[in-house]
Structure 1
């Protein structure tokens, strides 16, 4: 019998976590187990989780989304689950989300993702996806398909077969946040595992907030998106070619930040440049408090 363990990573969003877990408890096909990785929350989450008898909880320091899912996927895999259903704490699963994933066409060991719909507009996708031959922006861009290959919004209702984990391992916790999920997806694709979105399975999620640039000081998160992109390109194109593509891409991104007329443009240029250099020299040690551009911004805005 196939079993499903839900893996939820949380950090200081207790209200959202409660809603997420309620949506899992109301599934037409309930998960066989629910594993919550608490990334060092300080908002009462730790205390509340001790009162939830139906949860397995792992408390750890804040290791970012990458570290959270590395711990959660490792724990769920070692527990013997057939499928690992992974999500952030601000996801809301439709009542039949898991049932629809499991009932979708059998692809063998694979990764199947729910369709992420914006909580603000039920006709808009939470995450835009642009492909050379097609753009996915509206819900209707996806709903005419049973499966959409090569498209998935990790980790928002992401169903991963245990055989995939056995082959590709767990997310790289060094990546911390932003890009770690794409690195994991492209790692699976490189190993030949199908990655699909199942539009009949719906997750609600806040829309991506970086579409028009993130205002400072929150823009520090873009550091990780840029730094981690090298790993994505290398998964897709190989080590040497991937590095060359990354360097060309990073130069273009830095140049774009220089010409965009945004507030704190100088800091954006410095941040992107710092991230690109750190990626090239393989410096994946920085946490938010050690990003030099962020420290400069804070020093100049006391």
Structure 2
């Protein structure tokens, strides 16, 4: 008698979305998600003032779980709440995390459901801009401080200004039908977490506010032995066009500078381990050169960077957001 394998039951998926004052982008994301085979859509509204709460209240879909925060907790605070709700108020097998401007392309959830997930605790999607170009800020990587080959390739490319090519996934890795690759870091735009992985990894640290929370979270997952894969056939789009200067992203408003560099130092400490302190002077020289991209605001950039470095090296995460706004001239 020939035994036929039983067909696999597709995993149930809950989406977790964080939003703040971007109703136009949120509309598209929620409409896209509700057209996909998801069991729940958790939305954390970070005290939006643009009609988001009213629009969400007008939707009539039993899959929606909406939480409105009384204050803006930032992306990190929002993701912490959204992932907690998805964990505690749904029975989904997997939780897919995304910003309000990040969303699955049609068919992405079906592509994920068809995967053999037995070897993975988490899966990162391939993220593109709406025009089809790869979204650089969401490009996964292998931590060069944990992999000698990656480390050497990164060193070889640094004099050419192409150090990222040594440890980030390449364009060829995004080809549809390619293999699922092991990575150490992926972003919160299209990160699928198994329920067991979320239980073991815990929730993102809400004190990070914005920037680097996904990098730190996934690096810490790897340190705990959790397996993260990159699946090129699971495709997301990120409707963002960050302004690029001569030396990288230019952040506006300037209060964002503080969080970017404070959190980067905290993440580098996890990634670099014993190499962290020798690395710090290299990072500071590189970051200070970015002041040239800020024109008349260069002095404010330097002041926010200096504050970020002090808090990042001290691993201080309790500075009030109101103070950051005031110091940056954004209040």
Q: TM-score, normalised by structure 1?
A: 0.85
**Which residue of structure 1 lines up, in the alignment, with residue 159 of structure 2?**
none
2:12/2:94 contact within 8 Å kept? yes
**Which residue of structure 2 lines up, in the alignment, with residue 67 of structure 1?**
77
1:126/1:207 contact within 8 Å kept? no
TM-aligned CA distance change 1:94 to 1:236, over 3 Å: same
Which of 86, 104, 122 lines up with 1:111 in the alignment? 122
Q: Distance in 1 between matches of 2:272 and 2:203?
A: 21
Which of 5, 11, 26 lines up with 1:17 in the alignment? 26
**Which residue of structure 2 lines up, in the alignment, with residue 26 of structure 1?**
35
Deviation at 1:123, TM superposition (A): 3.3
TM-aligned CA distance change 1:297 to 1:237, over 3 Å: closer
SS in 2 for 1:113: strand
Deviations 1:58-97 (A, max 9, x none): 1112110000110011111113321101111112321111
SS in 1 for 2:58: coil
Q: Distance in 2 between matches of 1:47 and 1:261?
A: 39
Deviation at 1:202, TM superposition (A): 1.1
**Structure 1 runs (4+) greater than 4 angstroms displaced:** 213-217
SS in 1 for 2:190: strand
- Structure 2: unaligned runs, 5 residues or longer: 1-8, 140-163
Q: Is 2:137 the partner of 1:127?
A: yes
**Which residue of structure 2 lines up, in the alignment, with residue 86 of structure 1?**
97
2:112/2:234 contact within 8 Å kept? yes
Deviation at 1:135, TM superposition (A): 5.4
SS in 2 for 1:203: strand
SS in 2 for 1:204: strand
Q: Is 2:45 the partner of 1:38?
A: yes
Q: Distance in 2 between matches of 1:101 and 1:77?
A: 19
TM-aligned CA distance change 1:261 to 1:46, over 3 Å: closer
- Structure 1: unaligned runs, 5 residues or longer: none
Which of 183, 196, 199 lines up with 1:150 in the alignment? 183
**Which residue of structure 2 lines up, in the alignment, with residue 218 of structure 1?**
253
2:173/2:232 contact within 8 Å kept? no
TM-aligned CA distance change 1:111 to 1:242, over 3 Å: farther
Deviations 1:193-242 (A, max 9, x none): 1222211111111345154255575132121121112332233344xx26
Aligned residues: 290
Larger Rg: 2
Comparing 17-26 with 142-151, which one deviates more in the overlay?
A: 142-151
**Which residue of structure 1 lines up, in the alignment, with residue 232 of structure 2?**
199
Instruction: Kindly report the root-mean-square deviation, in angstroms, between the aligned alpha carbons of the 2 structures.
Output: 2.6
TM-aligned CA distance change 1:133 to 1:295, over 3 Å: closer
